Structures are given as C-alpha cells and as structure tokens.
C-alpha cells in the first residue's frame, strides 16, 4: 500500500474490508480520530487525513485555498489500494470530503461508496461568510471559545495559541472563501449528522438531499457544533450502521 504523510492509520489492522477516510474540523488534526479504530468494527479501517500545518506536519505551510487542497489530496487517495472506501468529515472536514468526492467524479476517479457530513451546512445553503480568518487574535480566540471545541486551558496558553493560530486562520480561510459551483449530483448515499443545539436552518441540514441521486438520511445528536466529542459513541454507531447497510446492499 502506498504510504503518505497525509494519511494516519493503524498498520496492525489486518481484517479491513472497507476504509473510512476521516477529515477534521478547522484547527484539528488526525489525532481526533485516533480512538475510533478501537470502537468501530475491525473490518472498517480508520484512515485519518492529516493536513499540512498540524501534528507531524506542523512545519509545513497550511493550505488557504480549498481548490488547491483538493487538487493535492485527490492523487493521494487515488494512489491507495483498491479497498472500497467512504468519507467522513466534520465541519470544514465535511466540506473537504464533499468537494473531494465531486472532484473524483469529475475526473473519473474511484469514488467513496458513502459520504458522511457532520456539523456542516449544505453547500447550496451555507451561511454568509463571517471572515473569521481576518479577525485579530483576541477576537478569534473568543470565537473559538464560543465553538466549544478547544479546551479552555489551551485557549488560555498564549505561547501555544501563537503556534496554533496561523493554521486555524488558514483553515477558516478555506471556509470563508468557499464558493459553491453547481455540478452533477453525486451518486453515493449521504448521511448528515447534526447537533440539536447548532444554529442551523432546516435548509442547511436538509439541503444535502440536493447533492446526491442516492439516499440521504439526517441524524440528530444532543449537543452543539462539537457534538461529535461528547456523543462520540452515538456518532460511531451511526457511521457503523451506514457502512453495514452498504455491506448488505
């Protein structure tokens, strides 16, 4: 199998029948998905995508253009073995997973058999850009506090935040500058995961149905934007059920 700094996986997983590529939220790293392998069916190989600017790739410059990121990432996925695969992405990660699947379709590449989008507006109904990447440091840190996805002790650690903020800004730029372009709908099932305390309209959740010719199911979870942290097992049960349906189809 082709190895790459983009991909973090457990090399001991010998029972895999399907690979789940996981894409992280703004400022996050592949380590977020480290506990998932032990909590999913061993037949599912968790393969977390590590973007530049974090983790073992901290010294690399992060992407600030989503199209450039997709063009760099698509060949990495394309060089992997022939194992069937699915995509999961939370927030920014959901947008990356969606646009990567569209790119693969456009370029006649192997495509995911299931797309899981979590905490992410339907692309045709995204809220207006808040230009978060342009905020001064104190205001950006206040926004991160409101999102409730970063530990308070990390946000209060000035030297650590000085190290992390450039990557967080770059990630927010990917979202802030995103422009939806109409195209052919996808053909795989889409599962939408949303938090009951997220500030989303019905269109921003249900609008994902417009992006596929296949089934689209919406699942609600207790919590705010980062419901995937306290509701991790429920999220994994949802993913596992969706992938089992694929196995039985």
Longest dimension (CA), the chain: 51
Tell me the C-alpha to C-alpha distance, in Å, between residue 48 and each of 32, 37, 86, 193, 195. Answer: 9, 10, 12, 18, 22
Residue 152 tokens, joined: 């308070």
214: annotated active-site residue: no
- Which residue among the candidates 4, 31, 65, 91 is catalytic per the annotation? 91
Helices (H), 148-201: 152-155, 158-176
Judged on CB neighbours under 10 Å (0-12, 13-18, 19+), 225 is: buried
Q: Which two tokens stand for residue 56?
A: 């073992």
Question: Helix or strand or coil: residue 158?
Answer: helix
> Could you give the residue numbers annotated as active site?
91
């Amino acid at each position: 199998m082709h190895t790459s700094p983009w991909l973090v996986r457990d090399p001991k997983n010998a029972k895999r029948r399907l690979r789940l590529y996981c894409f992280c939220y703004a400022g996050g790293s592949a380590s977020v998905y480290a506990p998932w392998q032990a909590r999913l069916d061993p037949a599912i190989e968790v393969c977390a995508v590590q973007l530049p600017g974090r983790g073992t790739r901290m010294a690399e410059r992060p992407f600030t253009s989503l199209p450039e990121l997709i063009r760099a990432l698509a060949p990495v996925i394309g060089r992997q073995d022939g194992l069937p695969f699915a995509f999961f992405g939370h927030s920014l990660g959901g947008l990356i997973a969606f646009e990567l699947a569209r790119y693969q379709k456009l370029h006649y590449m192997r495509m995911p058999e299931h797309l899981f989008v979590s905490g992410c507006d339907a692309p045709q109904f995204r809220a207006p850009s808040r230009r978060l990447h342009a905020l001064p440091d104190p205001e950006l840190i206040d926004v991160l506090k409101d999102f409730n996805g970063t530990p308070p002790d990390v946000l209060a650690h000035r030297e650590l935040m000085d190290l992390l903020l450039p990557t967080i800004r770059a990630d927010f730029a990917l979202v802030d500058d995103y422009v939806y372009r109409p195209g052919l709908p996808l053909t795989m099932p889409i599962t939408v995961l949303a938090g009951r305390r997220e500030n989303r309209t019905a269109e921003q959740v249900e609008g994902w149905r417009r992006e596929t010719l296949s089934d689209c199911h919406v699942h609600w979870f207790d919590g705010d934007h980062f419901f995937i942290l306290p509701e991790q097992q429920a999220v994994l049960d949802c993913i596992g059920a969706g992938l089992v349906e694929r196995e039985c189809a």
